[in-house]
A and B are shown apart, each in its own frame.
Chain A
Amino acid sequence: MDKSEKKITTRRDFLFTTSYTVGAVGLGAVIWPLVDQMNPDKAQKALATTEVDISQIEPGKSITVLWRGKPVFLKRRTQEEILEARSVSLDELPHPEKDEERVKSGKDEWLVMLGVCTHLGCVPLSNKGDYKGWFCPCHGSHYDLSGRIRKGPAPKNMEIPKYEFVNANTIKIG
């Protein structure tokens, strides 16, 4: 085939191009439902909120509740613990966040966070590790009294879920 012939666009070329295009769109339309069916379904999404009674938690103690299949730590911190968490310079933190940003103002004693190590998803143990906060037994990540990563392979601080105080004794997570 010489050059002059190459440039001619025939009706057949047009047919090929349009057929491929329509075929690709059709294939995509078929594949997407097959992919998306694996995402969380309506029943999973329906479990989005949990209300927790916090009236029984003494200072210095914590409870763990299940929210969306994941543990949530609710810790009522003592004044000393809050002070210690706030005395840390941000330069020392791999993922710098002030303690104030991790709690609701006026409710500074309540630390509410996902009890899920940001490394590979294990549940850290409380009151363990080099920083008196949490320690993940799986791969050795240490968290401080604000749930911030201090040492180990985890890249981020433990996540703070969306939550609110419904009244003085109840927290709604989600």
Chain B
Amino acid sequence: MSEHEYVPKSKAGKWFNDRLPLLSLASHLTDYPTPKNLNYWWTFGGILTFCLLTQIITGIVLAMHYVAHADLAFASVEHIMRDVNYGWLIRYIHSNGASMFFLAVYIHIFRSLFYGSYKSPREIIWIIGLMIYLLMMAAAFMGYVLPWGQMSFWGATVITNLFSAIPLVGDSITTWLWGAYSVDNPTLTRFFSLHYLIPFLILGLVVLHIWALHIPGNNNPVGIDIKKPSKDTVPFHPYITIKDAFALLLFMIIFAGFVFFAPNVLGHSDNYIQANPMVTPAHIVPEWYLLPFYAILRSVPDKLGGVILMFSAIFILFVLPWLDTSKVRSAVFRPIYRQFFWILVVDVLVLGYVGAMPAEGIYLVLARVGTIYYFLHFIVILPVVGYFEKTEPVPLSISEPVLTGSADYSMAKKDNEKI
């Protein structure tokens, strides 16, 4: 996949590279031709890599002090907070890191939706990305159970009970997941084991995600295929590395803001009460990043139906590349889709909001409208708009509109600034 044969300069380097071509790989990553018009929405891949590594490093440290046992877990988390040197810092980075990870991944996903990065020939990158997203949700859910607070316990109860909706074998599956007749110590220990495993699975998928990306190369804001390398591209290093580093710095400032000034604002205070299987908290809510799906679950007045719809909301994204019929990738040149894109963004935000509210009255109505629209967007609007939309003229190359200063580009540019 390398664009040119790389030969190390030193004799030792050549000797090593002939046996294991790591230096060739490093050279490929350094010189990797990248579209020169990538905007800041493209910096979230690097930010997400940072998030994953942060979670792995802080997680390994926390596991040195945490005790995975129903009687000791809650106290061991308090021990980390009060006794362990800098334990409070490491735990707050880890717990807020999960939120920052999801914040970044949602921006990353919506960037892909706006610029059509999921479309041919990048379907596999998109699907691997969704698998990472699913594993992230599993890891976050299991991690939230580990402190063994009230929200941990009842969140685990509600989520594992989703599987009891499966006809015939549902109850057996739920008991198998628990290793007991309710969420109990065996559940906690296996969740800890899996919570430790999943980040490394994600790491493996990230390698595949980037590998698959490096076959066609990056999509870009105008969404056209470009020649590589050409005057439309710049080498990844130093052009993209420095831009990614700058964006990462800004991201870390927000991250640090949460860790140092509002470490509990994204959590739920009930999780500082130890798990009690006799009392359910008055109002169970998942972490903010799962709220839209929770709203979809609750919008259906039927147990199995709600569970099916909630999982469908995620799995429909896997067929997205084939639901979108438009030949043009970037929403910059798609005047109709562009508007529906923003309606979808608002729809997901509304679903997130009602997911945090009690499932009654106006919230239930909003949840139902939001759920119907969510599916409408993917099943009806995307395929139909692709056929009928009159797209704006697409430039032949990235350089062309810059050099000619055409009217089309001024529109594209305005749009880029807007989002």
Contact = CB atoms under 8 A, between A and B. Distances in A.
A118 B164 CA distance: 9
A122 B303 CA distance: 14
Interface stretch (A5-13, A66-74, A105-113): A66-74
A119 B175 contact: no
Given A121-B157, A122-B158, A138-B280, A38 B177 contact: yes
B303 A66 contact: no
Contacts of A70: 181-182, 277
A64 interface: yes
Given A38-B177, A68-B181, A138 B303 contact: no
- Identify whether the interface residues of B are mostly helix, strand, loop, or mixed: loop
A133 to B, nearest CB: 16
A60 interface: no
A123 B358 CA distance: 17
B233 to A, nearest CB: 48
B161 A153 contact: no
A44 B279 CA distance: 21
A69 B278 CA distance: 9
A68 B303 contact: no
Interface string A18-42: 0000000000000000010011110
A162 to B, nearest CB: 13
Given A69-B182, A69-B183, A119-B303, A137 B175 contact: no
Interface residues of B, number: 37
Name the residue in B277, B282, B300 with the highest tally of chain A Cβ atoms < 10 Å from its Cβ.
B277
Interface residues of A, number: 29
Contacts of A68: 180-182
A119 B279 CA distance: 16
A152 B162 CA distance: 16
Contacts of A35: 176
Interface string B293-333: 00000101111101000000000000000000000000000
A18 to B, nearest CB: 32
Interface string B160-204: 111010000000000111111111101000100000000000000
A120 interface: yes
A116 to B, nearest CB: 8
Given A69-B277, A140-B359, A153-B302, A39 B158 contact: no
Contacts of B303: 118-120, 153-155
Nearest to B184: A69
22 contacts: A40-B175, A40-B180, A40-B181, A41-B186, A66-B278, A69-B180, A69-B182, A69-B184, A70-B181, A71-B277, A71-B278, A120-B157, A120-B303, A121-B161, A123-B277, A137-B280, A138-B154, A139-B298, A139-B359, A140-B359, A153-B302, A155-B303
Interface of A: 35, 38-41, 44, 64, 66, 68-71, 116, 118-124, 136-140, 152-155
